[in-house]
Amino acid sequence: MAKALDTKDAREAKPPRGSADSSNNSGDSIAAMLDANGVLTAEAERAANISDEELRTLYRLMVVSRRLDQEGLNLQRQGELGLWGPYAGHEAAQVGAAMAMAPTDWIFPYYRDFAMAVCRGIDPGAIMTIFRGLTHGAWNPNEYRFAPFIIPVGTQVPHAVGFALGCKLDHDDTAVLVGFGEGATSTGDWHEAMNFAAVFNVPLVFLCENNQWAISVPMRQQVSGRIADRAAGYGFPGVRVDGTDVLTVYAVVRAAADRARRGEGPYLVEALTYRTQAHTTSDDPTRYRTEADVEPWKSKDPIRRCAERLQARNAFDDAFAQAVSEEAEQRALAMRQHLLSAQTPHPASAFDLVFANPPESLLREKAEFIEALEPERGE
């Protein structure tokens, strides 16, 4: 019975919209850029034509991001932040992917994508105010084409699909990138989003930052097989890349975004990396992993790997490294100063920015809230 159905389906099946053939060919051409380790081949590197200056920019943004991450950790330990979620180890995935998108493209980040926000030019000090509990969102998404950080795991993925569908219906040539961890791929939201993206052939690059852990849950208890292979089940291609090599991530995401802009639909990039620090400052990783687990990943440090690539191109010297390190120090200091001088908002500001035109009932509630606060404040 099943066999008869299969043959009938095969005979009657029409190529889906966006043609499976064309998307698979184009997907294959991205897979063909990689060697068996998921690293850009020398030939693909030549074809991608990424200049020394571009690679130096990626290096600079990774060093700055690493230093800001360290400062976030310091600030939390000094009692200045409620929480910090370190992203060390993710720099190549985040910087490579964010910089591969055109400035007119949109990015839907998850909570760990701080370096992506830095790449978009958002002031790190302003972002930090979120982690101090001063605001829910520190930038105007329209201005930076960068959606808010999302904490509920996986929920940003359907948002991105819907947005990408809107871009397609508007006939503009915007591509969209959505970031998420490998843990998010176990959510219903993620699977529904993958299916919807394929069926409606939306211009979206799915970027899985596979850091091997979802808090204390290791990869092997999260997913059977490769995340990249899951795209095929929905009808579009995906690849696993070395997510510690910024050049590879940059070239592959750029190709996937170009493909999306050509109308060839979604693409899944699984960037294999490692979370070298705790999940957040509320987590103690010694409860579920040892130093020996972390050790093999130290040699794959994204910044060191990028420096090696630059050295191989004769595009790295002490003066450059020194200038980048000084810039990182200055930016960390500026971020700290911005955060520590940020005003604590009035509690009633929680009512603001909920509606463009707040209804009477909400305004009344806000007024009552302010009145209720006053005796407590001795005003």
CB-wise, 151 or 169, nearer to ligand TPP? 151
Which of 23, 156, 211, 244 binds Mg ion (CB under 5 A)? It is: 211
Q: How far is the CB of 113 from Mg ion (least distance, A)?
A: 12
User: Which of 230, 231, 229, 225 is CA-nearest to residue 259?
Assistant: 231
Q: What is the contact mask toward ligand TPP in residues 187 to 226, using x (rule: CB under 6 A)?
A: ----------------------x-x-xxx-----------
Residues in the chain, total: 379
| Tokens (6 digits) for 92 | 């190549």
Show the site string, 9-48: x = touches ligand TPP by CB under 6 A, - = not: ----------------------------------------
Pull the structure tokens for residue 147. 């959606």
Other beta carbons less than 10 A from residue 214's beta carbon: 20
- Other CB atoms within a 10 A radius of the CB of residue 345 amount to 13
Nearer to ligand TPP, 54 or 192 (CB): 192
Taking CB under 6 A as the criterion, the residue among 15, 82, 121, 152 binding ligand TPP is 152
Q: Which is nearer to Mg ion, 129 or 273 (CB)?
A: 273
CB 223 within 8 A of CB 182: yes
Distance CA(117)–CA(123), nearest Å, equals 8
Using CB under 5 A, which of 181, 235, 238, 266 touches Mg ion?
181
Structure tokens given for 118: 């830095």
Token pair for residue 335? Answer: 């971020």
The region of 128-136, 214-222, 336-344, 352-360 touching Mg ion under the rule CB under 5 A is 214-222
Is the distance from CB of 111 to CB of 134 less than 8 angstroms?
no
Q: Does the annotation count 331 as an active-site position?
A: no
Q: Which does 257 bind (CB under 5 to 8 A by kind): ligand TPP, Mg ion, none?
A: none
If the CB atoms of residues 71 and 209 are measured against ligand TPP, the closer one turns out to be 209
| Distance in angstroms (rounded) separating the CA atoms of residues 353 and 357 | 9
Tell me the window of 38-46, 115-123, 150-158, 302-310 that interacts with ligand TPP (CB under 6 A).
150-158
Cβ neighbours of residue 105 closer than 8 Å, sequence gap 6 or more: 145, 174, 175, 176, 177, 257
Instruction: Please give the size of the binding site for Mg ion, defined by CB under 5 A.
Output: 5
Contact 284, 36 (CB under 8 A): no
Q: Known catalytic residue: 288?
A: yes
* Pairing label, strands 204-210, 267-272: parallel
Active site residue 234: no
What are the residues binding Mg ion (CB under 5 A)? Answer: 181-183, 211, 214
Residues catalogued as catalytic:
275, 279, 288
